Copies of this chain bind each other. A is one copy, B any other.
C-alpha cells in the first residue's frame, strides 16, 4: 500500500484491477493470481442508475463483481418501506456461492452507473481449484462482508442518528481507501439523502438535519457527491468506530490517518 502525498495527483494504483487491491488488503497475490482475476472479469455488464442488477425472486446465475460504481442490496416491505441492507463499492463481490440458492431474497440496485463482471459457477470453481490465495481471499471477503452486516445491525440497534451517520461515512471512506478510491479524507459519495435514510433507518428529513449538525461541528463537508472527512479522529470518537470488524490486518499493513 503506497501512500500519496499531494492532495491531488491521485494516481490510481490499480485502475484496472480493483479486486486485486481489495484482496490484497488480506493476502499477497502473484502475477498469475492477478491474471486469473482479470481473466474472470472479462464478461462485463453495465447497469444504469436506479435499475436493478438482480431482483428479489430471481434465480441467481452468476457471481457479480463490482468493477466500477456503487450499488446497494435492499429489501422492500409490503407497506412500501425500503431498507438498504448493504452497499457495494468497487472491488466488492456480491455473493460467492449464491447460485446454490433457488431465488434471491433481496434485490441489488445500481446507485451510480455500474460496471459489473458476471462470473459463472464454472469459472468460480476453476478459480478456486487453481488459485489457493484467491480462494483464501474470497473466504476472507465473505467473512468481512458478514462482519459488516453485523456492524450495521449494531449501528441500527444502538447508535443515535448522529453516531449512525458518522459511522456509516467512516466505514465507506475506509472501504474506498483500501481499494485506492479515497485519500486524504476525501472520496466520491454518490448516495442521496434519501439513500442514506434508507440505509440508516432514518427519515430523509432527519438525515438532512443530522448531516448539517455534522457539518456545523466541523466533522465533514458533503457537497455535490463529494465527501470530505475533516476530522477523522473526532469522527471515530463520536461514532464509536472500531475498525476491527473490517479485518484489515495483513502483516506489514497499516492505515494512517491522512492516507
Are B157 and A201 within 8 A (Cβ)? yes
Taken together as a complex, chains A and B put the C-alpha atoms of A176 and B154 apart, in Å, by 24
Beta-carbon contacts under 8 Å, A122-150 to B: 136, 139-140, 142-143, 145-147, 149-150
Are A75 and B154 within 8 A (Cβ)? yes
| Chain B CB within 8 A of A86 CB | yes
Tell me how many residues of A have a C-beta within 8 Å of chain B. 46
Supposing A83-B157, A106-B150, A153-B83 touch, asked if A143 and B95 sit within 8 A by C-beta, the answer is yes
Stretch at the interface among A39-47, A63-71, A188-196, A244-252: A244-252
Are A158 and B100 within 8 A (Cβ)? no
Taken together as a complex, chains A and B put the C-alpha atoms of A42 and B13 apart, in Å, by 49
Chain B hits for A102, CB < 8 A: 247, 249
| Chain B CB within 8 A of A183 CB | no
Chain B hits for A201, CB < 8 A: 156-158
Q: Per-residue 0/1 for A62-88: is the Cβ within 8 Å of any B Cβ (1 yes, 0 no)?
A: 000000000001010111011101100
Taken together as a complex, chains A and B put the C-alpha atoms of A157 and B73 apart, in Å, by 14
| Chain B CB within 8 A of A173 CB | no
Kindly identify which residue among B79, B105, B152, B158 contacts A153, using a CB–CB cutoff of 8 Å: B152
Taken together as a complex, chains A and B put the C-alpha atoms of A100 and B139 apart, in Å, by 8
Supposing A105-B245, A150-B86 touch, asked if A98 and B240 sit within 8 A by C-beta, the answer is no
